[in-house]
Amino acid sequence: MDAVIAWIDAIARETMLFAAVGFLIGGLDDLAVDGAFLLRAIRRWWRGASQPTLDDFPRGGCTGRIAVMVPAWDEAVVIGAMLRATLARFDHPDWRLYAGAYPNDRATIAAIVAVATEDDRVRLTLTPAPGPTTKADCLNALWRAIIADGAAEGRPFTAMVLHDAEDVVHPGELRVYDHLLTTADTVQIPVLPLADPASRWVSGHYIDEFAEAHGRQLPVRGALGAELPLAGVGCAISAAMLSRIAARRGGLPFDETSLTEDYELGLTVRALGGRGVFVRVRETPGGPPVAVRAYFPARLDAAVRQKARWMTGIALAGWDRIGWQAGGGPHDHWMRMRDRRAILAIPVLAVAYIALVAWGLGGTAHTLRGSDATPLDPALQLVLAINLCLLVWRTAMRWALVRHSYGRDEAWRSIPRMLVGNLVALLAARRAVMRYAATLRGRPVRWDKTAHHFPDIAGLPGA
């Protein structure tokens, strides 16, 4: 019995040491981003800077012609409502919506055609091959149609905007893109997941993650001048830059072998010397932001599939595909490492849970045996104390960011939802590794989408 307890103690001690050091590295990394975020906020306050509002992007000052790209596979449930809402909401003098579908997806085609017959601003585009292929393949079909229409009409489009079939667009976003693309090559606005009353925990954990990603991380990247990845929705890219990327890639701007073409697109723009901006614009002073809103996966299996795609595309395949940017500065390498650390953090998280179980078993065994547990090394105690402080700080930062966008109720929910996020990440990492291994064996990349539902938009900002 004593030998078994000794083995449990050894496992608990070694796993705790491994996890503690891993958490310390990740915590200090996050703390550095927090420091940059707070320094940026202080500098803006000192200068008296205020967030821009829609009045700074007047409709009369819009000079571009914008094509909105909505790729769709198996989206018959939501695509009709999304297209009608988009047509009713956008406030821009010259835009057109291109919806992409696959020839073997008759239900989605029928839903798009029903809207296109009502409004000639909607164009249906079919992919050459039956689906599902990849989202990038569908986007390339849309791009070809946009270029062809612009040439035939003698009025080329100046910018392309990316949206998904479940998105609730903001009326003023095209005006923001139009104005900012005169000096930038890409523009990203915030993505704000909608709070789903039927899935406070699984769907709700996206609220917390995007509150941090688009409330803290992307503003810091912009302040540092680092490369700015795109979210795939709520983003615009100039037609000139897309043409440059297409020329570099043999004629098509979106890489059809990528699972995260939007992320890579933003990095490619930077590699070509382009400029990307993340902008937070208020409807009115102190009002809600101009942002994309949507319901995110409500079921655990759907969330795992989505997160696995992101991990595979960014942290695994992306590492192979795009490596480290040649000529990039330390800030670029730092941010790219942060993008890829998710897959590296999973073993640390898994070992931490093993340590927790082993520590509990060891403590119980010592209590039953009437013996004293082996004391922790002072250095490990110090690391654990620092990690506790970092955890409290991280929790407080997340609480503040979620409260800023969603209020106190969601902010308090964000604390227990950290456990939900950990569970989704652990399951997604396993799926991502398996999926990546399959691609290494030659399995073709496929669009691994999730089911969506479209919200009642009556009470949303911009209605």
- Name the pLDDT band for 211 (thresholds 50, 70, 90): very high
Amino acid found at 399: W
Q: Are strands 122-126 and 95-101 parallel, antiparallel or unpaired?
A: parallel
Cβ-proximal residues to 460 (8 Å cutoff; 6+ apart), any chain: 168, 293
N-terminal to C-terminal alpha carbon distance within the chain? 68
Domain with residue 158: its CATH number is 3.90.550.10
In the numeric block, the tokens 């910018």 are attached to 159
Check: CB of residue 389 under 8 Å from CB of residue 313.
no
DSSP assignment of 89-131, as one string?
A: H---SSEEEEEEE-TT-HHHHHHHHHHHTT-TTEEEEE-SSPS
Query: How does the average pLDDT of the chain come out, rounded?
Result: 88
Domain count for the chain: 1
Question: What is the reported pLDDT for 50?
Answer: 82
Question: What is the reported pLDDT for 15?
Answer: 86
Question: What is the reported pLDDT for 322?
Answer: 63
Amino acid found at 29: D
When comparing pLDDT for 97 and 15, which is higher?
Answer: 97
Predicted confidence (pLDDT) at residue 128 exceeds the cutoff of 70 = yes
Rounded to an integer, what is the distance from CA 217 to the centroid of its chain?
11
Among candidate residues 130, 83, 450, the one with its CA nearest the CA of residue 303: 450
In the numeric block, the tokens 């997160």 are attached to 307
In this predicted model, what pLDDT tens digit does every residue of 225-248 receive, in sequence order? 888 889 989 999 999 999 999 998
Please classify residue 222 by burial: count the beta carbons closer than 10 Å to its beta carbon, then call 0-12 exposed, 13-18 middle and 19+ buried: middle
Is the dihedral angle over the CA atoms 286, 287, 290, 293 positive or is it negative? positive
Predicted confidence (pLDDT) at residue 11 exceeds the cutoff of 60 = yes
Q: Which of helix, strand or coil describes residue 187?
A: strand
Question: What is the reported pLDDT for 315?
Answer: 67
**Residue 69, beta-bridge partner list:** 98, 162
Lowest mean pLDDT among 101-110, 144-153, 206-215, 331-340: 331-340
The token pair at 187 is 């523009």
- Name the pLDDT band for 217 (thresholds 50, 70, 90): very high
**What gap in Å lies between CA 334 and CA 336, rounded to an integer?**
6
In this predicted model, what pLDDT tens digit does every residue of 145-160 receive, in sequence order? 999 999 999 999 999 9
Mean pLDDT value of segment 254-279: 85
**What gap in Å lies between CA 64 and CA 343, rounded to an integer?**
41
User: How far, in Å, are 216, 316, 443 from residue 331 at the CA level?
Assistant: 16, 21, 35
The boundaries of the domain holding residue 58 are 1-463
In this predicted model, what pLDDT tens digit does every residue of 100-122 receive, in sequence order? 999 999 999 999 999 999 999 99
In this predicted model, what pLDDT tens digit does every residue of 35-77 receive, in sequence order? 999 999 999 888 887 889 999 999 999 999 999 999 999 999 9
**What gap in Å lies between CA 71 and CA 162, rounded to an integer?**
9
Among candidate residues 61, 43, 86, the one with its CA nearest the CA of residue 180: 61
In the numeric block, the tokens 């969603």 are attached to 406
Check: CB of residue 170 under 8 Å from CB of residue 290.
yes
Question: What is the reported pLDDT for 461?
Answer: 76
Question: What is the reported pLDDT for 130?
Answer: 92
Check: CB of residue 189 under 8 Å from CB of residue 235.
yes
Preceding omega of 132 cis (within 30 degrees of 0): yes
**What gap in Å lies between CA 188 and CA 262, rounded to an integer?**
11
Predicted confidence (pLDDT) at residue 354 exceeds the cutoff of 90 = no
Predicted confidence (pLDDT) at residue 88 exceeds the cutoff of 70 = yes
In the numeric block, the tokens 């009025």 are attached to 155
**What gap in Å lies between CA 101 and CA 112, rounded to an integer?**
9
Predicted confidence (pLDDT) at residue 328 exceeds the cutoff of 70 = no
The token pair at 306 is 């989505």
How many residues are there in the chain? Answer: 463
**What gap in Å lies between CA 279 and CA 24, rounded to an integer?**
32
Amino acid found at 153: E
In this predicted model, what pLDDT tens digit does every residue of 356-415 receive, in sequence order? 887 778 777 777 776 766 777 888 889 999 999 999 999 999 999 999 999 999 999 999
When comparing pLDDT for 162 and 49, which is higher?
Answer: 162
When comparing pLDDT for 144 and 462, which is higher?
Answer: 144
**What gap in Å lies between CA 195 and CA 216, rounded to an integer?**
20
